Amino acid sequence: MKKLLLIFSSFVFITSCSVDPEIKPIIGEDDVKEIVPPGWPAPVYTYSTNTLTADGFTLGRTLFYDPILSADNTISCGSCHQQFAAFAHSGHDVSHGINGLLGNRNAPVLQNLNWNPTFMHDGGILNIEVMPLAPITNPVEMNETMTNVVAKLSSSGKYKQLFTKAFGSDLVNSQRIFRAIAQFMGTMYSYNSKYDLVKSGKESFTAQEQSGYNLFVQKCASCHTEPLFTDYQFRNNGLSVNVAYNDSGRAHITGAAADRYKFKTPSLRNIEKSEPYMHDGRFTSLNQCLEHYNSGIVASPTLETQLVGGIPLTPQNKADLIAFLKTLTDTKYLTDSRFSDNNF
């Protein structure tokens, strides 16, 4: 009996004094670098005040995929930003939040974010480090407060260790949370598509892809500027107003009538994989998008001037453009294990 008590008491002592196992970085320091591909402009955001490290990246990725950031611990950033869909929300026209609530906009793709001067479809956020604040506090998305997020993370042995490794102490605060997520999301570089290989002289377009590229340069490139395939400006591209949302776009931020129904020009990189399309996810195919510009432009006072009358496209034009757009798919990015859900 004494022997059993001794064994039992030893077990209680060991388990009560146990600590979380050491968490090692998911990648090495050589795998976390600030990159500016050849021919690209300088990024807007750099890591001059947010030192990029493997431990910071590891913390950021863990937070990105952890539903602890939501009020009921069911929704993570990764719930609406899926890697295989270029970190958009495949098959969902608008974002889905806690308790099955729906937002009013399509979850945007996440790629090459360090070049963005603004974020969200209306440009309401100006810095990548505060971008997560919007979905975390949005009542139809994660519906949480930063006070609660900090409290939950501070009570976690796992996160105490992760914050210590990333920042030198186990202090959890909003700035550290956002900076870690910025280290993860900011290094989501997509620059290894067939298009990029063609531009570097390593591959060649097919005849149809080349035809599509030529059409793109003539008809699309003034807004979808190479190499990022966006100029980050806000435009009314002739969509009819979705009466379910009556979303005023950029005017929601500026209050200016001249900005009504203008939305940020999205990047076309990985567009093949990021359906549905437009700010409200109304189109489910690239053909539908192109047909909108061919025959569906709705006139309004703020319509982009170059879209007046639409962009005439024959069926062959559309087929060629789609062939080219598919060369913007970066399979390496969509399958890169560094960005995959590997929470623990």
Q: Which of the two residues, 25 and 207, has the higher pLDDT score?
A: 207
pTM of the entire predicted model: 0.90
What tokens does 160 get?
A: 């105490």
Return the amino acid letter for 270: N
- Which pLDDT score is estimated for 21? 53
- Whole-number pLDDT of residue 14: 38
Tell me the domains of the chain and their CATH numbers.
Answer: 21-190 (1.10.760.10), 194-328 (1.10.760.10)
Q: Decide if pLDDT at 334 tops 60.
A: yes
pLDDT score, position 31: 74
pLDDT at 15 over 90: no
pLDDT in tens, 138-184: 999 999 999 999 999 999 999 999 999 999 999 999 999 999 999 99
The DSSP code for 107 is P
The arithmetic mean of pLDDT across residues 190-216, rounded, is: 98
Look at residue 344 in the predicted model and tell me its pLDDT: 42
| Res 228 pLDDT > 50 | yes
Mean pLDDT for the stretch of residues 227-253: 97
Which tens digits make up the pLDDT trace of 70-116? 999 999 999 999 999 999 999 999 999 999 999 999 999 999 999 99
- 39 burial (CB, 10 Å; 0-12 / 13-18 / 19+) is exposed
Q: Where are the alpha helices (DSSP H) in the chain?
A: 2-16, 54-64, 77-80, 133-137, 146-154, 157-167, 174-186, 194-199, 207-219, 251-254, 286-295, 315-325, 331-335
- Over residues 272-286, mean pLDDT: 98
